[in-house]
A = this chain, B = another copy of it.
Amino acid sequence: MKLFVWTLTLTSLAMAQKPLTLASQGSFFVGGESKTLPSVAGRGGFGTGEITINQMYVQYQIPMNGAQHVPVVMVHGCCLSSKTWETTPDGRMGWNEYFVRKDRPVYLADQSSRARSGFDPSTLNAVKAGTMPPSQLPNVLAASHQTAWTVFRFGPKFGEPFPDGQFPIEAVDELYKQMIPDLNSTLPNPNPTLKNMAALAVKLNGAVLMGHSESGFFPEQAALVDPTGIKGLISIEMPCPELKPAEIATIAKIPTLVMFGDHLGDVQGGPANWASSLESCNKFVQQVKDKGGDAEMMYLPKMGIKGNSHMLMQDRNSDQLADLILTWIDGHVEKKKAR
């Protein structure tokens, strides 16, 4: 096992030394609605009128052989941005580039209300102006270092890493810099990111949607909004909600992969209960299978892959996990022979 991982790491490092050739790259927005700003004083003369909210920023790269493969859309989790998928905290290649180097068109989306997608500041301005009570302010999720350590399962308690942990804990400060306030509580219900993801898949004439943690079940929820463009669902580490039979039937038409790391029950406290999340997703996968769907649970320790954290796209064996996903896409979405 050790030797196997070592070989993969060498391969990845060698890859990073080689030039990367792109057919094209760029960025654009999906969705967005106009909203009239209430007249509020004290905003530096920026006046009133309309602003655009709920739009989703998307950054993409298309490799030279990209047309031969289904695009992959990656959506980050709570208190994070698309940085999740880029250069890892310890400076290795992120999944965004790794997938591109494996000939996949890659689309990184900042969730609506996060990072380059912006957010609706109306409530904030109104409370400051005294026209709304402070209780109406959005609930901002700002995960502390202490919370991240256990929720992301770097170790059993803050400052103590798991001996076999795959997260590059020496670079944890770089992960902390990625953690930014989460303003999803400012969003309408349903979350516009869902329809934006579905619309993006349509725009791309077919895409695999991948979510993580807070967005882990967004691919499935996007499929329930509009499955037209969605060719595959990849869900990484989240609770799986109870779905109605008709909803399961919709999901069952799309190949579905769920992935969980290690040490699910080995951390103390925090808002997440990963062991029960796995349990709920095992049930979800079984329900999809029972409806005749192609669903697979990759519970990594059960496959002999140990020590993975919640941030498994940043773990030391991130290339190995990417390869598992690429092979799954080939076999289940693109219906090619195993690579």
- CB closest residue in chain B, given A86: B27
| This protein's copies in its complex | 2
Would you list which residues of chain A between 37 and 63 have a CB under 8 Å from chain B? 37, 42-52, 55, 57, 59
- A45 and B270 within 8 A (CB): yes
Query: In the complex, which residues of chain B have a beta carbon less than 8 angstroms from the beta carbon of A21?
Result: 19-22
Query: In the complex, which residues of chain B have a beta carbon less than 8 angstroms from the beta carbon of A44?
Result: 139, 141, 271
Q: Say yes or no: is A116 at the interface (Cβ < 8 Å to chain B).
A: yes
Q: Say yes or no: is A140 at the interface (Cβ < 8 Å to chain B).
A: yes
Q: Say yes or no: is A180 at the interface (Cβ < 8 Å to chain B).
A: yes
Q: Say yes or no: is A337 at the interface (Cβ < 8 Å to chain B).
A: no
- A residues contacting the other copy or chain, number (CB 8 A): 76
In the complex, what distance in Å separates the CA atom of A23 from the CA atom of B97? 13
- CB closest residue in chain B, given A26: B87
Q: Mark A18-38, 1 if CB is under 8 A from B, else 0.
A: 011111111111001010010
In the complex, what distance in Å separates the CA atom of A271 from the CA atom of B82? 33
In the complex, what distance in Å separates the CA atom of A130 from the CA atom of B137? 11
- B46 and A141 within 8 A (CB): yes
In the complex, what distance in Å separates the CA atom of A134 from the CA atom of B135? 10
Query: In the complex, which residues of chain B have a beta carbon less than 8 angstroms from the beta carbon of A34?
Result: 145, 176
Partner-contacting stretch, out of A120-128, A187-195, A282-290? A120-128
Q: Say yes or no: is A83 at the interface (Cβ < 8 Å to chain B).
A: yes
- A116 and B51 within 8 A (CB): no
- A118 and B180 within 8 A (CB): yes
Would you list which residues of chain A between 95 and 136 have a CB under 8 Å from chain B? 97, 110, 115-119, 121, 124-125, 127-128, 130, 134-135
Query: In the complex, which residues of chain B have a beta carbon less than 8 angstroms from the beta carbon of A180?
Result: 116-119
In the complex, what distance in Å separates the CA atom of A82 from the CA atom of B47? 24
Smallest CB–CB gap between A330 and chain B, Å?
24
In the complex, what distance in Å separates the CA atom of A179 from the CA atom of B66? 31
Q: Say yes or no: is A143 at the interface (Cβ < 8 Å to chain B).
A: yes
- A43 and B117 within 8 A (CB): no
- B87 and A49 within 8 A (CB): no
- A143 and B20 within 8 A (CB): no
Query: In the complex, which residues of chain B have a beta carbon less than 8 angstroms from the beta carbon of A28?
Result: 87, 91, 174
Q: Say yes or no: is A67 at the interface (Cβ < 8 Å to chain B).
A: no
Q: Say yes or no: is A297 at the interface (Cβ < 8 Å to chain B).
A: no
- A139 and B47 within 8 A (CB): no
Query: In the complex, which residues of chain B have a beta carbon less than 8 angstroms from the beta carbon of A277?
Result: none
In the complex, what distance in Å separates the CA atom of A150 from the CA atom of B178? 35
Q: Say yes or no: is A177 at the interface (Cβ < 8 Å to chain B).
A: yes
- Beyond A22-B19, A137-B124, is A43–B142 a contact (Cβ under 8 Å)? yes
- B49 and A139 within 8 A (CB): no
- Beyond A121-B181, A142-B43, A271-B44, is A22–B22 a contact (Cβ under 8 Å)? yes
Which 6 A-B pairs give the minimum distances between C-beta atoms? A118-B180, A49-B144, A49-B146, A45-B271, A26-B87, A128-B137
19 A-B residue pairings within 8 Å (CB atoms): A16-B24, A32-B173, A37-B142, A43-B139, A47-B146, A47-B269, A47-B270, A49-B158, A51-B179, A52-B173, A82-B116, A117-B180, A121-B142, A124-B138, A125-B140, A125-B142, A128-B134, A128-B138, A130-B134
